[in-house]
């Protein structure tokens, strides 16, 4: 109510990028209120826990890449009840991004169009910032993902080197890494989704991953690939094949779309990535396809059009184990915490009361693994599974 009546109208008076930057700056100074936020927004419910290899997520709803590009508010996010955060996209070299205006609200469509173009301070600046947070004892308790993009001026032939630099620079700080080969706003970036280029990229990243892990006596970091929604399933299958052969930890589906304008109520010719509500159906179909094509063996993070708990739950039912959200500022009616897990928890509870067969939701949000990312299984979240015994395979996707 407070958000709807007071905060949102004020935010919507301003240019979307300006209000985003100001909100983020404010949040970055509110880390000290983390405990209070957690008390208000947080959810502690074993049924929502997800395990992915060595990583434990208190719940499956996270903040997707692009919201906190420079990682300035990492201490605050967990207070909002997110189960993980992904900062970035960060690129090897800092860059200003595309000319403004470059972010557009489409309130009637609950959507955003952005063509920011990876505006960020660069890998070295992020490393310094994260090191400072770590030294000050403000490190988040939830997994921190780092979303890596390609520097704009770097050519495709040098893209792998560019990604590698950022990966190496930030290796110590990320709990997992996302290779963003799917933003529509960096020219030719999406070419990296093609078989040969993707194979080269994943080969060098995973080699470096092994090397750095061996050097530091630590485990390899889970590396995920984020895909675009603008492709045929045949190309998605190729990506999955390459990802599995390179022992990628999961697929994030999806980034914003360069298309789908015909489905909008708002008439607009603005180029850029469309995200929010119009993306929802596409993402569900991608998640479902990925789940079926991999027989549930490759973890899927569903991103796109999550506004309420039912949206998150829909992705769970389609086969996703985690989901992220980004376009919250596009929403007409809800504060960011609405995405949070409290509603998902309540929704799961009401599903069980209304439709007993939907209790498989409980199994779909409790993820156990056998120590091998390529063979992650979901299990029912009862005492047996908490003790680690796998008692069922993946949840039934919606048919």
Ligand X SMILES: Cc1cc2nc3c(=O)[nH]c(=O)nc-3n(C[C@H](O)[C@H](O)[C@H](O)COP(=O)(O)O)c2cc1C
Tokens found for residue 157: 């032939």
- 322 Cβ partners below 8 Å, 6+ apart? 50, 52, 57, 60, 61, 62, 83, 84, 250, 299, 300, 301, 302
Question: Is 174 one of the binding residues for ligand X (CB under 6 A)?
Answer: no
Judged by CB under 6 A, how many residues of this single chain contact ligand X? 27
Question: Is 65 one of the binding residues for ligand X (CB under 6 A)?
Answer: yes
Query: Cβ atoms within 10 A of the Cβ of 246, count?
Result: 18
Helix (H, G, I), strand (E, B) or coil at 325: strand
Strand boundaries in 176-220, DSSP class E:
176-180
Question: Is 306 one of the binding residues for ligand X (CB under 6 A)?
Answer: yes
C-alpha to C-alpha distance for 179 and 166, rounded to whole angstroms: 10
Considering only the C-alpha atoms of the chain, give the largest distance between any 2 of them, rounded to a whole number of Å: 55
332-367 burial code (b ≥16 CB/10 A, e <16): eebbbbbbbbbbbbebbeebeeeeeebebbbbbbbb
Q: Mask: binding to ligand X, 215-234, rule CB under 6 A, as x and -?
A: -----------x--------
What sign results for the dihedral spanned by CA atoms 69, 70, 72, 78?
Answer: positive
Question: Is 103 one of the binding residues for ligand X (CB under 6 A)?
Answer: yes
Catalytic pick from 19, 28, 54, 183? 183
C-alpha to C-alpha distance for 296 and 306, rounded to whole angstroms: 21
Compute CA 217 distance to the chain's CA centroid, rounded to the nearest angstrom: 28
Please state the closest distance from residue 131 (CB atom) to ligand X, in A: 22
Q: Mask: binding to ligand X, 13-52, rule CB under 6 A, as x and -?
A: ----------------------------------------
Nearer to ligand X, 62 or 366 (CB): 62
Place of tokens 């921190």: 144
| Contact region with ligand X (CB under 6 A), list: 186-194, 202-210, 271-279, 286-294 | 271-279
Nearer to ligand X, 306 or 394 (CB): 306
Question: Is 181 one of the binding residues for ligand X (CB under 6 A)?
Answer: no
Strand 84-90 relative to strand 61-63, pairing: parallel
Nearer to ligand X, 6 or 153 (CB): 153
Question: Is 279 one of the binding residues for ligand X (CB under 6 A)?
Answer: yes
Question: Is 303 one of the binding residues for ligand X (CB under 6 A)?
Answer: yes
| Contact region with ligand X (CB under 6 A), list: 58-66, 73-81, 214-222, 352-360 | 58-66
Please state the closest distance from residue 307 (CB atom) to ligand X, in A: 8
Q: Which of residues 366-385 bind ligand X (CB under 6 A)?
A: none
Q: Known catalytic residue: 19?
A: no
Nearer to ligand X, 82 or 362 (CB): 82
Please state the closest distance from residue 391 (CB atom) to ligand X, in A: 32
Question: Is 180 one of the binding residues for ligand X (CB under 6 A)?
Answer: yes
- 62 Cβ partners below 8 Å, 6+ apart? 82, 83, 84, 85, 86, 142, 145, 301, 322, 323, 324, 325
C-alpha to C-alpha distance for 173 and 324, rounded to whole angstroms: 20
Q: Which of residues 143-162 bind ligand X (CB under 6 A)?
A: 147
Q: Mask: binding to ligand X, 118-137, rule CB under 6 A, as x and -?
A: x-------------------
Tokens found for residue 58: 């208190």
C-alpha to C-alpha distance for 386 and 389, rounded to whole angstroms: 7
Please state the closest distance from residue 386 (CB atom) to ligand X, in A: 30
Tell me which of 95, 114, 380, 385 binds ligand X, using CB under 6 A: 114
Distance separating the N- and C-terminal Cα atoms of the chain: 37
C-alpha to C-alpha distance for 32 and 164, rounded to whole angstroms: 34
- Closest chain position to ligand X (CB): 66
| Contact region with ligand X (CB under 6 A), list: 51-59, 62-70, 123-131, 207-215 | 62-70
Tell me which of 276, 296, 340, 366 binds ligand X, using CB under 6 A: 276
Q: Which residues are catalytic?
A: 183
Q: Which residues lie near ligand X (CB under 6 A)?
A: 64-66, 69, 88-89, 103, 112, 114, 116, 118, 147, 180, 183, 226, 255-256, 275-276, 279, 303-306, 325-327
């Amino acid at each position: 109510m407070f958000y709807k009546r007071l905060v949102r109208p004020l935010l919507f008076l301003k240019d979307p990028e300006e209000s985003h930057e100001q909100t983020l700056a404010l949040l970055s100074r509110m880390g000290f209120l983390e405990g209070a936020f957690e008390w208000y927004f947080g959810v502690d419910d074993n049924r929502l826990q997800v395990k992915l290899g060595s990583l434990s997520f208190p719940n499956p709803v996270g903040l997707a890449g692009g919201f906190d590009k420079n990682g300035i508010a990492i201490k605050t996010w967990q207070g909002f009840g997110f189960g993980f955060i992904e900062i970035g996209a960060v690129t090897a070299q800092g860059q200003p991004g595309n000319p403004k205006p470059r972010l557009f609200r489409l309130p009637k469509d609950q959507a955003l169009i952005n063509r920011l173009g990876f505006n960020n301070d660069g890998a070295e600046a992020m490393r310094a910032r994260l090191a400072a947070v770590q030294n000050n004892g403000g490190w988040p308790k939830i997994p921190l993902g780092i979303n890596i993009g390609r520097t704009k001026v770097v050519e495709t032939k040098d893209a792998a080197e560019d990604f590698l630099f950022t990966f190496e620079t930030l290796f110590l700080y990320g709990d997992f890494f996302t290779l963003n080969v799917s933003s529509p706003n960096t020219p030719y970036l999406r070419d990296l989704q093609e078989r040969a280029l993707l194979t080269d990229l994943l080969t060098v990243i995973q080699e470096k991953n092994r090397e750095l892990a061996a050097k530091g006596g630590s485990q390899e970091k889970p590396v995920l690939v984020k895909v675009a929604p603008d492709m045929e399933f045949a190309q998605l299958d190729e990506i999955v094949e390459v990802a599995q052969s390179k022992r990628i930890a999961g697929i994030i589906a999806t980034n914003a779309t360069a298309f789908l304008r015909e489905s909008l109520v708002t008439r607009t010719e603005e180029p850029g990535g469309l995200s929010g509500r119009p993306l929802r159906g596409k993402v569900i179909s991608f998640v479902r396809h990925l789940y079926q094509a991999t027989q549930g063996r490759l973890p899927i993070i569903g991103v796109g059009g999550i506004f309420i708990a039912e949206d998150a739950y829909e992705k769970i039912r389609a086969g996703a184990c985690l989901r992220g959200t980004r376009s919250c500022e596009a929403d007409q009616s809800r504060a960011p915490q609405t995405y949070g897990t409290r509603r998902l928890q309540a929704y799961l509870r009401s599903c069980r009361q209304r439709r007993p067969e939907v209790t498989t939701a409980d199994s779909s949000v409790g993820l156990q693994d056998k120590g091998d990312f390529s063979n992650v299984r979901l299990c029912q979240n009862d005492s047996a599974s908490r003790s680690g015994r796998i008692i069922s395979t993946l949840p039934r996707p919606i048919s």
